[in-house]
Every structure is written in structure tokens, then in C-alpha cells.
Structure 1
Amino acid sequence: MMIRPAELAAIKRGEIDLAFRRWDRPRVKVGTRLRTGVGLVEITSVERVTVSSLRADDARRAGAASLAALKEAVSYRDDRPLWRIGLRHAGPDPREALRDQVPDATEVAEILAWLDRLDQAAPHGPWTRATLEAIDRSPGVRAPELAAALGRETQEWKRDVRKLKEKGLTESLAIGYRLAPRGEVVLDHGGPPRERAPRPSGTPLPRSIGAPATRALRAQAVHSLEQLVDWSESELRALHGVGPLAVARLREALAEQGRGLRGD
């Protein structure tokens, strides 16, 4: 179930707790927890409804400007049933906490054995260590470039990286990836710790701002939300690649910290 970043932010704030979808049959179940850019979103209800049954309260809870706007939004594919889905923010993604948990020797051995099983089962041959090495060497580099360097097709390689992310070994950035502290320990096992640049401090820029805005901010040595409090909207908008949508997403992320841009 795809949910737009602005809606995810509103779900986290408790402003939205409904969504409407046109599906042949329900594609989510009550109790399912979706992993999203704002953490876990839980499905609390799934109910088939009609357009005529919609009320102003439904529109408000779905984040629509009005009942008429909601009805217009669900008017597409009107040959399919309309589903009313209840939503709630269910806390942070557990993988985020896992990334910072440094494994002991026993757990490292278990992770290495798991990596060996992935390598043995892969039709394209061993890939886990090479992937960890590539991400470690090139944090923040786009997936197509990393995949090409490894002789892999991008989408297939990204699916493999998600398996590593499930174990807390890697984390996704606004552009590219980096090893999590947990992944660094696993990769360094059996040898001396590798020399790495210090990890950027602060809260990473949200992925929802898009690659052009991320590149523009990186070019200005802005790598965290905390650095943005010294910037005004006009200064951000003057950067090539930073449009009104990116600024809105940055404002939303800052607001969650109780912060804002200069002049807000």
C-alpha cells in the first residue's frame, strides 16, 4: 500500500487516520504493520464503502480539503470497489534501533552464517561481502552506480540490499546507503577495524525531499536537519534543485523536532 510522504507525516502527527483505495479486493489486513519513512503504520480497519456513504468527517480524517475533494479523489477506477482503511502510527521502525546495537561474538557468528546461506542460495553467486564492502567504500553513492560497479542489475541488487537492511547492517540515505554501526562490526570481524570518516552527526535529511534537493544541500555542506535552522526559505529556494515541495518536506521534518527554518 503506497502512502505519499506528506500523508505519512500527517499520520505520524495524528492528523490523518484514514485512507481510501480502489481495489478489486483488500490488499492489506487488519493488524498489518507497514514499514514507512516515518516508522511503522498499522492497519486498524478495512471496510468496503460506497461513495454516497462518505461524510465530511471521512474527508477530514483522510486529509482531504473537503468532502467534495475526497469524492473527486476516489472517482477514478469507479468500476472497482472502494475501501476505507483505518491507519495509525505504531512507533519507530525496529530496524532503526537494531542498526545501533553492536553484536557480541555469538551474534556476529550467527550473522556471518546467515550471510553465507544467502551467498550459497544466490543464483548469481556470492554477493553479501562484496555489497557490504561497496557500501562501506562509497556511502551516499546512488544504487545504480554501486550495482554497476558490482556487475549487477540495479533492481535485483537493491532487493538484496534490503535483506541486509532487515538485519540492521545497512541504512538507506536520501541518496544511496551507508553501513550501520552493526554492519561495520560484522564487516570488520576477523581483522583490524577499518579507518572510516566520522559519521555525520545529527538527523539525516529526509529521503522524501528527493535526490536533486539532497545534492543541492550536500553541495552546501548541509547533511542534517539541525543545520537547516540557520537557513531561511528564500535561501533554500535559491538553490538549484530545491523546490517548494522539498521545502515543505523539510519544514515537516523540522516541526517534528520542534524546530523550524530561520524566520519561521
Structure 2
Amino acid sequence: MQMRPAELAAIRAGEVDVAFRRWEQPRVKVGTRMRTSVGLVEITSVERVPVSRLTAADARRAGAASLAALRQGLDKVHAERPVYRIGLRYAGADPRQALRETVPDTAEIEAIGAWLDRLDRASPTGAWTRATLMLIDELPAVRAPELAGRVGRDTASFKLNVRKLKERGLTESLDIGYRLSARGAAVLDHEGHPRSAGSRVAPEPGTPLPHLGAPATRALTARGVVRLEQVADLSAAEVQALHGVGPYALSHLRSALDAAGLSFRDEQPDQQQR
């Protein structure tokens, strides 16, 4: 079940707790917890509803501007299919986040290494796990197609392999590309694999940008902005003027700045008093 970034943010904030989809058959089950960019979203109910029975309250709960807007959106694609109302709730942070930040002890590292060995032995194309970890370590925030091309793989199979590493907390997906987690780095260091730290740019100190979507992240990165503290040096108008930064990204940046005790330059108290 795909959901837009703005929809996910509203679910996390508790502003949206239902969604409506046109499906031939239900595609999700009650109790399922989906991993999303904002954390876990749980399916609390799934029921088929006639469009004629939709209400203004349904529209508000789904984050639609009005009942008419909700119905219009449902009629845009596959209008012949039945409508399902899906209950949703934010179920907390993705457990892989804490896993990524936990450095394993020696016994756990050896267990991870044994698991990587099994993946390599089962692969019809040969060993790939350590090479992929080292590639992501060398080239963080690089698009998956480019990484796949460097190791002679197609993008789909490369992404599938990276997803397996991500499940064990060894890598982290970014809006553009990936990066090695502290857990993944510990495995490479323990096994003595070469890491090209000297050729990598040291990360900027401060708070990383939140997930904004690839266009907004690309626009900020092109300007050299990779941390919230750098965003606070810009005005809201300057950020909004960047190609790729839309209302969702701007709102999400403002929320992240507020949570970090920061704000856009023109919204800082000392600026407002002038």
C-alpha cells in the first residue's frame, strides 16, 4: 500500500487515521505493520464501503480538503473498482533504526558474518555482501542505478540485495542512495575489510536532514546543505525557491527545525524583533 510523504507525516502526527483505495480485493490485512519513511504504520481495519456512504467526517479523517475532493480523487483512477476504507495508526519508530545505531559485540558480529556467508553461498551470481557494504561505505548518497552499474548488476536485483542488508541494520536508505550504518561499519572493521575513509568526505557535524523526498534532498544537497543547522542559516523563502522543494518538504523541514530548537533565519526571534 503506497502512501504519499504528506499522508505519512499526517498519520504520524495523528491527523489522519484512515485512507481510501479502489482495489479489486483488499491488499492489506488487519494487524499488518508497514515500514515507512516515518516509522511503522499499522493497519487497524479494512472494510468495503459504497462511495455513496462516504461522509465529511471520512474526508477529514483521510486528510482530504472536502468530501467532494475525496470522491473526486477516488474517481480519477479505476473508478470501476470497489472502495475500501483502511484504518491506520502510527505504531512507533522502525526498530531497524535502533538496530542500525547499536554496535554489536564480537559474538554478534561473527553471527552476522556467518549470515552474510550464507547469502553469498546462496547467490547464483557469486559473493556480493561485503562488496556491496564496501561500495555503500565508499559512495554514500549515490543513486542505486549508479551503484549497481559499478558492480555490473541490474538495479532491481541490486536494490533487493541492499534491502536484505538493511533488514539486519547494516545499511540505511536515504532519500538518494544509501549509507553504511554504525553496525555495518563494525562488521567491516572486525573482518579487516579495507575502508576508503581517507577518500570519503567527513560528515558535517550537526543534525542530519529529515526524509524530504529525493527532489528536495537533491536541491538542498546541490547547495551544500546537508544538516539542519545549515538550513537555519537560510530563510524560508530561500529554501522554498529551490527547485524541488514543495510545500511538504518545507513543512517537514520546519517541523524538524522546531524539534531541534532551530528555525529558518527569517523566523528566528532576534530577526523578528528587528
What is the TM-score when the length of structure 2 is the normalising length?
A: 0.88
Secondary structure of the residue aligned to 1:159 is: helix
2:219 is aligned to: 216
Contact 2:44 2:89 in 1 (8 A): yes
Counterpart among 221, 229, 234 of residue 232 in structure 2: 229
2:40 is aligned to: 40
Residue identity in the other structure for 1:262: R
Residue identity in the other structure for 1:37: S
Does residue 30 of structure 2 align to residue 57 of structure 1?
no
Structure 2 CA distance for partners of 1:33 and 1:9, relative to 1, 3 Å: same
Structure 2 CA distance for partners of 1:238 and 1:71, relative to 1, 3 Å: closer
Shift of 1:203: 3.7
For residues 22 and 256 of structure 1, the distance between their equivalents in structure 2, rounded to whole angstroms, comes to: 36
Q: Is 155-164 or 242-251 further displaced after alignment?
A: 242-251
2:208 is aligned to: 204
Contact 1:33 1:43 in 2 (8 A): yes
1:95 is aligned to: 96
Residue identity in the other structure for 1:220: R
Shift of 1:195: 6.6
Structure 2 CA distance for partners of 1:49 and 1:254, relative to 1, 3 Å: farther
Contact 1:59 1:65 in 2 (8 A): yes
1:169 is aligned to: 170
For residues 194 and 126 of structure 2, the distance between their equivalents in structure 1, rounded to whole angstroms, comes to: 27
Residue identity in the other structure for 1:221: G
Structure 2 CA distance for partners of 1:187 and 1:227, relative to 1, 3 Å: same
For residues 83 and 28 of structure 2, the distance between their equivalents in structure 1, rounded to whole angstroms, comes to: 13
> C-alpha root-mean-square deviation of aligned residues, in Å?
2.1
For residues 98 and 244 of structure 1, the distance between their equivalents in structure 2, rounded to whole angstroms, comes to: 32
After superposition, give the CA deviation of every residue in 1:111-138 in whole Å (9 maximum; x if it has no partner).
Answer: 0010011111111111101101101111
Structure 2 CA distance for partners of 1:245 and 1:60, relative to 1, 3 Å: closer
Which segments of 5 or more consecutive residues in structure 1 lack a partner in the other structure?
Answer: none
For residues 94 and 224 of structure 1, the distance between their equivalents in structure 2, rounded to whole angstroms, comes to: 23
After superposition, give the CA deviation of every residue in 1:42-95 in whole Å (9 maximum; x if it has no partner).
Answer: 001111101111111100000001111111111232321110000000000000
Shift of 1:140: 1.5
For residues 125 and 192 of structure 2, the distance between their equivalents in structure 1, rounded to whole angstroms, comes to: 27
For residues 67 and 80 of structure 2, the distance between their equivalents in structure 1, rounded to whole angstroms, comes to: 21
Q: Quick one: percent identity of the two aligned structures? A: 62
Contact 1:115 1:128 in 2 (8 A): yes
Shift of 1:201: 3.9
For residues 45 and 244 of structure 2, the distance between their equivalents in structure 1, rounded to whole angstroms, comes to: 39
Count of matched residue pairs: 263
Contact 2:5 2:248 in 1 (8 A): no
Shift of 1:162: 0.6
Residue identity in the other structure for 2:175: A
For residues 239 and 149 of structure 1, the distance between their equivalents in structure 2, rounded to whole angstroms, comes to: 31
Contact 1:9 1:252 in 2 (8 A): no
Shift of 1:246: 3.6
After superposition, give the CA deviation of every residue in 1:177-203 in whole Å (9 maximum; x if it has no partner).
Answer: 111000000011133885735444444
Shift of 1:141: 1.5
